Amino acid sequence: MSQVAGLFNSSLARKYWMALTGLFLCLFLVGHLAGNLQLLLPLEDGAKDQFNLYAKFMTTNPVVKILSYLTYISILLHVVDGIVLTIRNRKARPQKYAYNKPGANSAWNSRFMGFLGTVILVFIVLHLNAFWAKMHWGPIDTYMIDGEEVKDLYTLTIASFQDASAGLGMTIVYVISMIVLGFHLVHGFQSAFRSMGWNHPKYMPIVMTVGKLFGIIIPALFALIPIYIHFIL
Amino acid sequence: MKLNLKIWRQKGPNASGKMVDYQIDEVSPDMSFLEMLDVLNEQLISKGDEPVVFDHDCREGICGACSLHINGEPHGPGRGITTCQLHMRSFKDGDTIYIEPFRAKAFPVVKDLMVDRSAFDRIIQSGGYVSVNTSGNTIDANATPVRKENADAAFDAATCIGCGACVASCKNASAMLFVSAKVSQFSLLPQGQPEAKERVMNMVSQMDEEGFGNCTNTGACEVECPKGISLENIARMNREYLKASLTSK
């Protein structure tokens, strides 16, 4: 096998791509969260205009566009690679155990990464459909800020979550999805470092701790946004 | 004590097997698990039945021959022991014990509880050696300096007995703990450097060819390994493979 082929199709290479795309998506989460936390700003301080101008910047700036295409590619690769690995792993044990006790030696979320990932993928589709698609192709209201036309993503977002019945349902779906994301990240973050071979007794405990905190804090802050909009705003 | 056993019986590699119930009385808590199976087999033979086939050799936890998936875990409920070191005092009177072969596509069942683990031998053959002459003029052991921490880590990796519990416990039937231990024991030492790149490339390639699964870092292998081989070895192998892939000519 040629060395170059080894970087694409071998079992280890598949893990490298899984890890690299996963870590890139972790960076994306930080950026996405930082932007979305603007939804928590008080309305009287101009939160609406600030958020809508930010949303316009995020859909028009060329650097952000490149980053967003990288994000789409990463999600696609992460999903395809995950499916390929899951199929290969299933094939590696055609005959199951009559009695198995996996809980005795491993954490449940580490064994259900494929399932957790599938839930997250469904969430991404719903989430893109609810906001991203409307931002790009409408229907969405527009208005002028200092002679500049902006799409009112702020009002659309607030209305989506504030609605008494559909908004409550959406809030619940979002919160559950973020809990699922948390379990996926708590295992995935440190696993990515191991897969890349970035492992050293000195800094692995730091990676483990940062991974756990990342997997709890980031989804918790994301979940806070729909909860705030539905129950407090 | 009395025990209910549920044992996988399979006549041959191509036969379909099933779990069969057995009852065994007068099991002493001091018996090893394999001795308990010996007693069962004596009973079966005296009744004119086929004895249960299982792998075993040294019976002191160093050869890696014994296997068995006992009550949902390779080598049974104990930690840091092989099946031959598991004693019946770990069980209670009236317990039901499930006994199955290690399950993996790369470990086909030969008969009953015995599986063919020669896939491991082929992985070793693909790169688990050093081209250092050891006959004639033997070099003094201290002539080549080795960092103490590397010597310790290489020794820890080399304690792998190749039993296959890592594969059996892994939800993906991955052999990465085994392969990484074999890669590590050489890559950490100066004698392993000349073939370092080819070794990791060839062993991983052979591992994939044998049909083992991929590592998802669940850590099950490390917990079930009778020799306590660390997950750190897998990260080291990943590092070695990446380095070799990027820099080999």
Domain residue spans of chain A? 3-93+108-232
Strands (E), A2-158: 142-145, 148-151
User: Do B16 and B102 fall within a single domain?
Assistant: yes
Are residues B149 and B99 part of one domain?
no
Q: How confident is the model at residue A146 (pLDDT cuts 50, 70, 90)?
A: confident
- In chain A, how long is the greatest CA-to-CA distance? 70
Please indicate whether, in this complex, the C-beta atoms of A194 and B234 are within 8 angstroms of each other: yes
CA B140, CA A132: separation in Å to the nearest integer? 69
Q: Give, for all 249 residues of chain B, the pLDDT tens digit.
A: 999 999 999 999 999 999 999 999 999 999 999 999 999 999 999 999 999 999 999 999 999 999 999 999 999 999 999 999 999 999 999 999 999 999 999 999 999 999 999 999 999 999 999 887 777 777 787 888 999 999 999 999 999 999 999 999 999 999 999 999 999 999 999 989 999 999 999 999 999 999 999 999 999 999 999 999 999 999 999 999 999 998 877
Domain count of the fold of chain B: 2
Residues B105 and B122 in one domain: no
A52-81: pLDDT as tens digits? 999 999 999 999 999 999 999 999 999 999
Contact partners, residue B113, CB within 8 Å, separation at least 6: B7, B8, B52, B53, B54, B55, B67, B68, B99, B100, B101
Chain A residues close to B219, C-beta within 8 Å? 105-107, 110
| Topology of domain A3-93+108-232, CATH | 3 helical TM bundles of succinate and fumarate reductases (1.20.1300)
Minimum distance, in Å, between the CA of residue A16 and any CA atom of chain B: 9
Which residue in chain B has the smallest CA separation from A105? B220
Taking an 8 Å cut-off on Cβ atoms, the answer to whether B216 and A110 are in contact is: yes
Distance from CA of A194 to the nearest CA of B (A): 5
Chain A positions touching B201 (Cβ under 8 A) are 1, 3, 6
Above 50 in pLDDT, residue A1? no
Are residue B86 and residue B143 in the same domain, yes or no? no
pLDDT band of residue A164 (cuts 50, 70, 90) is confident
pLDDT, mean of residues A134-144: 87
Is residue B143 domain-shared with residue B102, that is, in the same domain? no
User: For residue A161, which amino acid is it?
Assistant: F
Same domain, B18 and B74: yes
Nearest to A229 by CA among A64, A51, A82: A51
End-to-end CA separation in angstroms for chain A: 60
Q: Is the N-terminal amide bond of B51 cis, ω within 30° of 0?
A: no
Among A129-133, A201-205, B131-135, the range scoring the smallest mean pLDDT is: B131-135
Of A6, A93, A102, the CB nearest to B173: A93
Q: Are residues B243 and B160 in the same domain?
A: yes
Residue B54 C-alpha, separation from nearest chain A C-alpha, in angstroms:
17
SS3 at position A162? helix
Tokens of B99: 């006994």
Per-residue pLDDT band at A5 (split at 50, 70, 90): low
Same domain, B126 and B78: no
Whichever domain contains B85, its CATH number is 3.10.20.30
Residue that finishes a domain, picked among B54, B83, B110 = B110
Shortest Cα distance, chain A CAs vs residue B216, angstroms: 7
CB contacts, 8 Å: B231 with chain A: 194
Task: Write down which residue in B110, B143, B167 finishes a domain.
Answer: B110
Q: Assess whether pLDDT exceeds 70 at residue A169.
A: yes
SS3 B246: helix
Chain A interface, mutation test: which of B126, B238, B239, most A Cβ atoms within 10 Å?
B238
Nearest partner of B9 among B128, B109, B136, judged by Cα: B109
Nearest CB to A92 within list B213, B231, B237:
B213
CA-based nearest residue in chain A for residue B78: A104
In angstroms and rounded to an integer, the radius of gyration of the C-alpha atoms of chain B is 20
Mean pLDDT (chain A) is 92
Q: Please compute Rg for chain A using Cα positions.
A: 20
pLDDT at position B98: 97
Mean pLDDT along residues A186-212: 94
Are B96 and B123 in a shared domain? Answer: no
ipTM over 0.85: yes
Q: Give the HSE-up count for residue B165: Cα atoms under 13 Å, Cβ half-sphere.
A: 35
Instruction: Give the residue from chain B lying closest to A106, CA to CA.
Output: B220
Cβ B219–A95 below 8 Å, yes or no?
no
Separation of alpha carbons B44 and B113, rounded Å: 16
B121 and B228 fall within a common domain: yes
With beta carbons under 8 A apart, name residues in chain A contacting B206. Answer: none
What residues make up the domain containing B178? Answer: 117-247
Residues 6+ apart with CB under 8 A from A118: none
Of the candidates B72, B105, B236, the beta carbon closest to that of A93 is on B105
d(CA A15, CA A26): 16
| B223 and B199 within one domain | yes
Point out which residues pair with B5 in neighbouring strands. Answer: B22, B97
pLDDT band at A213 (very low <50, low <70, confident <90, very high): very high
* Residue positions counted in chain A: 233
Range 29-88 of B in CB contact (< 8 A) with A: 69, 71-73, 77
Percent of chain A scoring above 90 in pLDDT: 79
- How confident is the model at residue A6, as a pLDDT? 64
Q: Do A111 and B248 touch (CB under 8 A)?
A: no
Q: Is the pLDDT of residue A217 over 90?
A: yes
Q: Count residue pairs from A and B with Cβ separation < 8 A.
A: 154
Measuring CA to CA, how many Å separate A79 from each of A91, A230, B50? 18, 31, 49
Same domain, B42 and B106: yes
Question: Pick from B92, B110, B128: which residue ends a domain?
Answer: B110
